[in-house]
Structure 1
Amino acid sequence: MHLTPGPRNLITDVAGLRVGNAEDARLKSGTTVLTGAAPLTCGVAVQGGAPGTRETDLLDPDKIAPGVDALVLSGGSAFGLAAADGVMAALHDAGRGFAVLSARVPIVPAAILFDLLNGGEKGWRDNPYPALGRAAWESAGENFALGTAGAGTGAQTGQVKGGLGSASFVLPSGASVGALVAVNATGCALTPSGRHFWAAPFEVGAEFGGLGPDPKVGLQALPASRKAAAMAAQGNTTIGIVATDAALDKAQARRLAIAAHDGYARALVPAHAPHDGDLIFAASTGARPLDDPLTELALLGHAASVAMARAIARAVWEATPSPGDSLPTARQSLGL
């Protein structure tokens, strides 16, 4: 099966999706919002040991909420869950939400990463994340920044700065699949040499530097962690979204999210650690019916996992230096 990136190589290559970022450089944190022209069918899979979430129970297949109005990825640990409040307020103003007689309640699941010890100014009196959430929703469009942006603003990996990444594929069937991720992992995106990405076998062109696979032996060793000393062994989590225009129900969306976690394991070592809250949402616009649901869902899962691996590497590659950083960027570490 030949997979080709979409025209933007972003999750917004799935028609109808928009992504917005908002960040505060002094805070060294931010928020990212994905939304669509209409409610999205969603599922979720949590594989890390320390998740921080909001409204994920209603994504279970047995729950009655048919769709969500937006998905939020945010820094700020548990404080960042309040970013969904700002998104809900903006959606309410726009007349969006789950209808209950005359009332409308926007459905906005959210997930957070821990970036409270990264050197930013965290001594706020009023929680800044509701305003960041609203600003992210209001800025949503088809094009958006990667690297040190949105939810990836203050992110770090085991060796170098993390960030926000995205990638996409168009399948031979014409279906589109995209990934969006904020990378703040316990593990490392670079191999023990620090010169190559674990995701290198899946790179398209030179989208994360064209450094190629690591030719050295001994890749079973864990890379040394700079993060534990620079920040905290407990301050982690990679949170992401995969999306498709293929028509999925909530159970199929959950299956897509589970498959996409393979992308974490391909791009981060170790992945799904006890100190991570690793989570992936899966969203479907429902625009393209499946002719062979079982076979096509398997292919969608493969495409989502590879797109996620590429998105993780792109997040790290696109990170930029900021005043007060406790870790270098990948390009700084490589002398580029």
Structure 2
Amino acid sequence: MQPGKRNLITDVAGLRVGHAADAGVKTGATVLVGDAPFTAGVHVMGGAPGTRETDLLAPDKTVQQADALVLSGGSAFGLDAASGVADALRAAGRGFAVGDQVVPIVPAAILFDLINGGDKDWAENPYKQLGREALAAAGADFALGSVGAGTGALTADLKGGLGSASLRIGRHTVGALVAVNALGRVTVGDGPCFWAAPFEMGGEFGGRGIAKSFDVGALPPVKGGDARNTTIAIVATDAALSQAQATRLAVAAHDGMARAIFPSHTPMDGDLVFAAATGAVPLESEADLLMLGHGAALCLSRAIARGVFEASAAAGDVMPTYRDKFG
């Protein structure tokens, strides 16, 4: 297995990603959109999720495909980013046909970044406009780190960020996109080694290697009631999957989150994974689905580390970046 050409989720042909951010508020939104509707699933394992239209992605529901997926900061306010995306898609004639109307299907998930040092005293919710801007910026190439939904993200002891990674697995491509805002740590103890180090490819997050020791009893402190976090992700493939199979892909990808964040899936995190399948390449056997799930988990671990590794410093930050701390 090797990363795709870009080592981004957009190595899955037909998918584009765009970011928008407000530096003063220290927040932003990220949109994944398909050239055509794609089959979508979702799985939630955190105890404090914030979502829009995720019930619609259950395998027994009428609508089987989505037009776009949105990851946003802003806690519940950030769900409005999906409204901006839906408005723009409707204006473009994209959506689920109902009579003479089209209704864009835009599931979304949010992370909590309201106490990260930014100015949250807005006169009007900024997220609808951020959603519009992120969709307008969508392309095959996009930045990582303190961008989009990762702009104001934090972890237990470092700035978080927006990460992505991909893999070629036989005839298929799989990729991950993630906004890392975890209650837990992505590095081992106080050192520079990432929990995801065993899965690193080509020094993509610094090549620091595997930690020499692990204190698995040393959990990050949770200070009072201020711990409100969430790591939200999308995994995607060019495989032809049913909605049930896409849901299984999202379930498998959570293994990657657990390997890269210590601890993950806590009561204070809203950890969630969407899955998107463009359907361009048929499955040949059940073994294909197994390998895609394995690849999705690997990609998500790597994307989490890349998002934190690529974070950049900004005025008013309340935590250091990885590079500020470790060089």
The alignment partner of 2:165 has SS state of strand
In structure 2, C-alpha distance between the alignment counterparts of 1:28 and 1:190, rounded to whole Å: 23
The alignment partner of 2:217 has SS state of coil
1:51 aligned residue: 49
Question: Which of 305, 309, 334 in structure 1 is aligned with 2:301?
Answer: 309
Instruction: Using the TM superposition, name which of 191-200 and 132-141 deviates more.
Output: 191-200
TM-score by length of 2: 0.98
For 2:16, the aligned partner's letter is R
Instruction: Indicate yes or no: 2:221 matched with 1:220.
Output: no
Question: Which of 198, 203, 208 in structure 1 is aligned with 2:205?
Answer: 208
Answer whether contact 1:233 1:275 (CA < 8 A) is retained: no
The alignment partner of 1:82 has SS state of helix
1:296 aligned residue: 288
Deviation at 1:251, TM superposition (A): 0.3
1:76 aligned residue: 74
Q: In the TM superposition, what whole-angstrom CA distance separates every residue of 1:121-176 from its partner, at most 9, and x where no partner exists? A: 1001210000000000000000011000000000000110000000000012x200
Answer whether contact 2:219 2:263 (CA < 8 A) is retained: no
Output aligned runs, 1:80-95, within 5 Å: 80-95=78-93
Question: Which of 278, 281, 291 in structure 2 is aligned with 1:285?
Answer: 278
Answer whether contact 1:222 1:269 (CA < 8 A) is retained: no
Answer whether contact 1:159 1:190 (CA < 8 A) is retained: no
Deviation at 1:235, TM superposition (A): 1.8
1:251 aligned residue: 244
1:199 aligned residue: 196
The alignment partner of 2:89 has SS state of helix
In structure 1, C-alpha distance between the alignment counterparts of 2:225 and 2:71, rounded to whole Å: 21
TM-score by length of 1: 0.96
The alignment partner of 2:211 has SS state of coil
The alignment partner of 2:275 has SS state of strand
Answer whether contact 1:222 1:270 (CA < 8 A) is retained: no
2:261 aligned residue: 268
In structure 2, C-alpha distance between the alignment counterparts of 1:322 and 1:289, rounded to whole Å: 45
In structure 2, C-alpha distance between the alignment counterparts of 1:232 and 1:138, rounded to whole Å: 37
Question: Which of 300, 322, 325 in structure 2 is aligned with 1:330?
Answer: 322
In structure 2, C-alpha distance between the alignment counterparts of 1:232 and 1:130, rounded to whole Å: 28
Structure-2 change in CA distance of 1:203 and 1:232 (3 Å): farther
Across the aligned residues of Structure 1 and Structure 2, the Cα RMSD in angstroms comes to 1.1
The alignment partner of 2:33 has SS state of strand
Figure out how many residues of one structure are paired with residues of the other and give that number: 327
The alignment partner of 2:323 has SS state of helix
Which runs of 4 or more aligned residues in structure 1 lie more than 2 Å from their structure 2 counterparts after TM superposition?
A: 221-225, 231-234
Deviation at 1:195, TM superposition (A): 1.7
Any stretches of 5+ residues in structure 1 without a counterpart?
A: none
Deviation at 1:101, TM superposition (A): 1.5
Deviation at 1:291, TM superposition (A): 1.0
Any stretches of 5+ residues in structure 2 without a counterpart?
A: none
